[in-house]
Structure 1
Amino acid sequence: MYYVNREQIAQRLRSVPDVAGALRTLAFEWNGTLLQGLAQERALHLAIEIVTDVGSCLIDGFIMRDASSYEDIVEITGGEGVFPEALKETLLALVRLRKALVQDYYDWPRAELHPLTAQISEGLPAFKEAVESYLERELA
């Protein structure tokens, strides 16, 4: 029997529409202002945290192999069929941004629209739906 903290997962997934919407707006209305640059950084960072927090909850709850990195969280959950293979590369590219956003933030090119901004605005809702379907399938 598994103990999956569904409420903790749901709580994080409830942030997806806001974060995805912000990324979508930034992608379509980008003009490179400092405020937009900072908003993009934060929205990408939140997207990373959602994916890794939810992934960690799934790994712990379903007793999957231990993750050694943020990329490993995506690899493990993807390998377990939590989300479609087509989404895996996008999520891996996203989590690879974490160091740049959190540790090397002083070098982040704030005036540029990051290519993942538009991709994640679509990928994050797909991740949410896939996780919810996975939970229904595995815990039914």
Structure 2
Amino acid sequence: MKKLHVLLIAGVASVLVLGGGGAAAWWYLKPKAAPVEEAPKVDKTVYKYVNLDKVLVMLRGREGEPLSHYLAVDMVFKTPAEQEKVLKDHLPLLRSVAVKALSAHTLETAGKMTIDQYTEELNAAFAKSYEAEHREMPFKTAMIGKLIIE
């Protein structure tokens, strides 16, 4: 009977040691999980695109230059759908701000600028105008649809 108890205890101890060893091996050898990256946030805002066509600007000429030059730009404003009406009401203001910003250029400087530079300059002018009036812009960004320098 005593032998039976010793064999039983030895058997249980063996099962526990083997089980612990198996669990340790499983834990150590399991594949490492890759870090979970957050999915990029999706902008679910519905946007509308509103045109402002034919903004004409006379470019400054050099002294004594007989010909006048002009710049024509068509802009597209990306606006949340609920702001579309407000943006359309603001188009005359936006035209005025664009003319003021672009009229500082000469033919030489205007010809050297890229579309991205024009876009950046116009967006900065719009932001400054709305900030001066302590109002929120009714659009997210202004983009250039067409640009002609003559």
After TM superposition, the score normalised by the length of structure 2 is 0.26
Greater helix fraction, Structure 1 or Structure 2: 1
Larger Rg: 2
Q: Which has the higher contact order (CA 8 A, sep 6+)?
A: 1
